[in-house]
Structure 1
């Protein structure tokens, strides 16, 4: 994967992948992997099965895309988008279990898990939920304290992770609407997910170059952006991802992973 020259502003593009299960296919992972620089691969708790996880890791490794563990609640039926009031010790062990499972398939594919990103309801919960945020941080530190973590700017998760010595990477969302407080509009509300590729691309350029995004009420919210997420299960995900990448390149923003591609 080409790396922009020194001094060039760069940003990572990530996507949630490996979320198919059995006979059910979700998204076009192969096409998205041609565009993004980091793949948040499901670990089997909220989505993905062993065959899907192995195939996704192999495809990512073939394309030089960095693999990250997309950890979530044990909630296949709800796709990990329902809050689970799990005890912190159990959550730590659940996260360790998921990283370990994905690491096995990553190593077989000739790569390694290079970062951790929580998924869905867990991602949103640890914006403010102190105990669960600390539990996820504990799991990453136990597994490998050199692994970066990806999360929402201003979250308790990133704050605690930074205090614990982990490298933190702030994330913005290409296809999600923002509240005036800088959090994501809940998916159950109208307009929470954006679909116009041109509009999304323009928003991403503004986030990457100006560090700001327009909230649903028209106010301007400051965003710290180290990586931009394009959801792989959003309708038109491939076209959106391509539009975002092309617009960033046209604006002079380099595209590169925030974590080094790891080898087995």
Structure 2
């Protein structure tokens, strides 16, 4: 079981009031980090996660609200974390909505929302976190991708999501190159189907979706002390799945 020592570290996980984000944040609390639970509209759920994080061993836990695609709100989010906990050491960019329907049937606003939240949200949060990480010559960034986008499979229903996640992976590699001398690593974890998904494809290689721990263990690997030479990489948490087109 991977369990890095994150004592005296401060972690922010975007979209951490529920689902995978919630489990990622609680895993960081288990490792001794002080944590910031980010939410956009689920204030009660976020407070419950913060309470659970304290029970799991987090020295401190707070909640922060904001739209990750809005530069001003991102700045306010990070300022609030810095005021209460200190500069963010560990950033996990987990926010990433799907499109509701086939790409031809959604509005431009729906298309743009998916790209904005996934790509611009990751960009804005990374940009805001970097000064504090550079000041202390240490930082860990993990961006959540999607296995299908890395393998070139684009389902017409969720085309903007796959396109956005491919952009996230490209940005991660650029960020790793740009921070290679700063004591900062930037990596990605890309699940395929996770246990909270509404529908499960019939071709899952293990006969089941990934569970939350499969994803959290991949993220925690990048936070291990022995992983500090690894940057710009992507772990696909997909059970060995390959699309028919490959």
TM-score (norm 1): 0.40
TM-score (norm 2): 0.43
Structure with more contact order per residue of length (Cα contacts < 8 Å, sep ≥ 6) = 1
